[in-house]
Amino acid sequence: MSAGKYTASDITVLKGLEHVRKRPGMYIGTTDIKGLHHILWEIIDNGIDEAANGYANQIDVTLNEDGSATVEDNGRGIPVDMHKEGVPAVQLIFTTLNAGGKFNTDNYKFSAGLHGVGASVTNALSEWLTVEIYRDKKIYQIDFYSPKDGGEFRSGLVKNPLRVVGKTDKRGTKVTFKPDAEVFDSVEFDAEDITNKLREYAFLNKGVKITFTDNRNRTEESEGIRTEFRYENGLIDFVTYLNDGAEGVNKMIYFEGEGSGVRVKLAIQHNSGIYEKLYSYVNGVRTTEGGTHVTGFRTAFTRCMNDYAKSNNLLKNKDCKLEGDDFKEGLTAVLLVQMNEPQFEGQTKAKLGNQEIKSIVDGIVSEKLSAFFSLSKNKSTGDYIIKKAIEVASIREASKKAAQIERQKNTISGTALIGKYASCTGKDVTVNELFIVEGDSAGGSAKQGRDRKTQAVLPLRGKPLNVLKVKKEKIYQNEEIRTIIAALGTGIGSNFKIEDLKFNKIIILSDADYDGYHIRTLLLSFFYRLMPELIREGKVFVGMPPLYKVEKKGKIAYAYDDEELDKVVEEMKGVSGEMRIQRYKGLGEMNKDQLWETTLNPRTRVLTRVTIADAMEADEIIDTLMTEGAEKRKEYIFRYAKFNRVDAFAMKYGGKD
């Protein structure tokens, strides 16, 4: 192989925003639905930053019929005067990376945007983008587009320069953009994701009105779907929403504090449940992996509650100390930290890394909690928390003893695996995979069609246990749960050791229907609650079985959703012969060869790696659906249940199979 020449002519210079389009993953992480939503969040964040800094009180988000999205706020409006670079400031913001007002703390004390890349990246990855600015009684407008020039795309160019197009008494900014189908896997926004995100923003910015309108299916007879969020009590309303339907809800604890330029807001409320719901944020960015602010909170809370217990003689042994984990059961809390120059670990901004924040949050929480519990009217709240923590601690100690006995008997690692589980013969854990499969029928096909050397199969008898609704000691008595734990080999709880994991991938394989979705969600909730390390280490995946098989004159293709089916059918029109379309009702309908080709074969299957955010979402859905009487449950069912859903497959292609 020739080394070849390497000269100056080999160096490619990407001008403007072309490098964003060439390497979108560097800026938005991925080009799937998460990446698509990322460019929407970047624009929404600009409005949220205006609101968080006291300049705006309304943000309107609209999905338009042509596939574009519009975000409007009533803030100050992006500057339109000339920048020293020789172009209007708004043009610079939308065409240049690292250009924005958020580097100047005089403009934004707290900002979700970190690097000044948001607006320009959205522009670069859109077919077109238009900005309207309402300032000085005038309406300014500037238009951008991404044309194809000589086979190559030019990204985020000015199509129509900044000009005055009208008069107005309004103020603020309106951005409309159409994501580029050449960049993203799909340009179809998910209304549910957007609704949840906007509700969250409204909770974090009390008093700010946020509306969401979906006009994509609007007709002459029916208007688009419009939702409005506004919460006058902010984080208090957020915790109330999270505890909707929970039993044994205790008094709300809420306080705000500021120190060293850092503002802390915290709402806490315990209930009689067995799990913790802790939502942490930095400048409105959800930190699903926690970070130094969460560490500061936990340290302060544990210390303050131990001090309270000792001063009120609630601990029998004066030397006894309750651990941080003892306070987690039944804790619902939302922690918001607002600060300058947050440093996040990882591209997804999932974990705060600023070391100084730990002591700042610790100090503020300690001061405010101590003041709260110093008041006699709050004694019952403190007593409730300590009583619950003592119960948890006693169960923890009892569980340790039970685990020792269990290990001695070897029941979880031995007899629990007798039955349906089919292990693999290979001993190389770096390539071995465990498929958790829905149903005996699909399990049988998977066992026959798998690679026996590297693929183990565990069929589930029915729907997995909902770990949110039973006591922990009952969880480990469940046969399905015990079998999963035994197959993985990691142990559980304080005995968990990820280095003992027997597989490189744990793949959840369920039918592509509502029951399959429910099973998948229950399993994700189980892993998130009891074995989160597996998710953090990227070991948990979801297999994607096809919904349809299309066959024509010996040519076979599979489709994973209705949209892909339409594409496959269109491609097959060029093949002679009669077309046969089969809709799979479940994995059990596939023979071993079909199951291998579509869902087991590493070369042809489709897998999705589960993140902590994915698992948290699944956990939240299960909590919502299983909490009878909760308003959020009624809202979810009303919004998403398809009571009169039309069978598009039957209408288009005839029949049901």
Interatomic CA distance for residues 52 and 283, integer angstroms: 8
If we measure between CA atoms, which residue out of 487, 481, 445 comes closest to residue 462? 481
Catalytic residue among 192, 515, 537, 563: 515
Q: Take residue 245 and report the two structure tokens written for it.
A: 């339907």
Q: What pLDDT score was predicted for residue 492? A: 77
pLDDT digits (tens, 9 = 90+) for 128-181: 999 999 999 999 999 999 998 777 788 889 999 999 999 999 999 999 999 999
Residue 327: phi, psi to the nearest 5? -95, 0
Catalytic residue among 438, 480, 617, 623: 438
CA neighbours closer than 13 Å in the CB half-sphere of residue 173: 23
pLDDT digits (tens, 9 = 90+) for 267-288: 999 998 888 899 999 988 889 8
Q: What pLDDT score was predicted for residue 568? A: 84
| Percent over 90 (pLDDT), the chain | 40
Let me know if 513 is a catalytic residue: yes
Q: pLDDT-derived band of residue 301, with 50, 70 and 90 as boundaries?
A: very high
Instruction: Give the mean model confidence (pLDDT) for residues 75-85.
Output: 88
Q: What one-character DSSP code corresponds to residue 381? A: H
Q: What pLDDT score was predicted for residue 10? A: 40
Q: Which of 321-330, 351-360, 515-524, 602-611 has the highest mean pLDDT?
A: 351-360
Instruction: Reduce the DSSP state of residue 422 to 3 states and report it.
Output: strand
pLDDT digits (tens, 9 = 90+) for 28-49: 888 999 899 999 999 999 999 8
Cα 418–Cα 421–Cα 422 angle in degrees, nearest 5: 115
End-to-end CA gap in the chain: 54
Q: Which residues pair with 177 in a beta bridge?
A: 69, 129
pLDDT digits (tens, 9 = 90+) for 321-349: 899 989 998 999 999 999 988 888 865 56
Instruction: Give the mean model confidence (pLDDT) for residues 549-574.
Output: 83
Catalytic residue among 513, 571, 593, 631: 513
Angle between helices 191-204 and 235-242 (to 10 degrees): 130
Q: What pLDDT score was predicted for residue 316? A: 79
**37 Cβ contact partners less than 8 Å away, ≥ 6 residues apart:** 189, 190, 193, 194, 197
Q: Take residue 617 and report the two structure tokens written for it.
A: 């979402």
Helix/strand/coil (H, E, C) string of 181-203?
CCCCCCCCCCHHHHHHHHHHHHH
Q: Take residue 251 and report the two structure tokens written for it.
A: 């008094």
Instruction: Reduce the DSSP state of residue 207 to 3 states and report it.
Output: coil
Q: 547: how many CB neighbours lie within 10 A of its CB? A: 20
Q: What pLDDT score was predicted for residue 36? A: 94
> Is there a contact between 62 and 70 (Cβ–Cβ < 8 Å)?
yes
- The amino acid that residue 160 corresponds to is N
Interatomic CA distance for residues 121 and 113, integer angstroms: 12
> Is there a contact between 293 and 287 (Cβ–Cβ < 8 Å)?
yes
| Percent over 70 (pLDDT), the chain | 82
Interatomic CA distance for residues 636 and 508, integer angstroms: 25
CA neighbours closer than 13 Å in the CB half-sphere of residue 609: 11
If we measure between CA atoms, which residue out of 321, 282, 275, 230 comes closest to residue 49? 282
Distances from the Cα of 629 to the Cαs of 134, 199, 466, 468, 640, in angstroms? 45, 21, 18, 16, 17
pLDDT digits (tens, 9 = 90+) for 258-269: 999 999 999 999
Cα 48–Cα 50–Cα 52 angle in degrees, nearest 5: 65
Beta strands in 526-627 (DSSP E): 540-543, 548-552, 555-559, 579-583, 607-609
If we measure between CA atoms, which residue out of 12, 11, 39, 13 comes closest to residue 24? 39
If we measure between CA atoms, which residue out of 640, 625, 645, 644 comes closest to residue 227? 640
160 vs 639: which has the higher pLDDT? 160
3-class SS shares of the chain: helix, strand, coil, % to 5: 40, 20, 40
Q: 511: how many CB neighbours lie within 10 A of its CB? A: 22
Q: Take residue 8 and report the two structure tokens written for it.
A: 């100056």
Q: Take residue 222 and report the two structure tokens written for it.
A: 């029916």
**470 Cβ contact partners less than 8 Å away, ≥ 6 residues apart:** none
Q: pLDDT-derived band of residue 404, with 50, 70 and 90 as boundaries?
A: low
Q: pLDDT-derived band of residue 13, with 50, 70 and 90 as boundaries?
A: very low
Give the pairing type, strands 344-345 and 331-338.
unpaired
Let me know if 180 is a catalytic residue: no
Interatomic CA distance for residues 587 and 298, integer angstroms: 44
pTM score: 0.72
> For 450-578, where are the alpha helices, taking DSSP H only?
472-475, 479-488, 514-530, 532-536, 562-572
Residue 590 CB burial class (10 angstroms; 0-12, 13-18, ≥19): buried
Q: What pLDDT score was predicted for residue 103? A: 44
pLDDT(420) > 60: yes
364 vs 458: which has the higher pLDDT? 364
Catalogue all structural domains in the chain, each as residue range(s) with its CATH number: 18-229 (3.30.565.10), 235-397 (3.30.230.10), 413-545+607-626 (3.40.50.670)
> Is there a contact between 369 and 300 (Cβ–Cβ < 8 Å)?
yes
If we measure between CA atoms, which residue out of 364, 202, 243, 237 comes closest to residue 293? 364
Catalytic residue among 289, 362, 511, 619: 511
**354 Cβ contact partners less than 8 Å away, ≥ 6 residues apart:** 291, 292, 339, 341, 342, 343
Let me know if 515 is a catalytic residue: yes
* Residue length of the chain: 657
> Is there a contact between 443 and 459 (Cβ–Cβ < 8 Å)?
yes
- The amino acid that residue 587 corresponds to is L
Average pLDDT value over all residues in the chain: 83
pLDDT digits (tens, 9 = 90+) for 475-510: 777 778 888 888 898 887 767 888 999 999 999 988
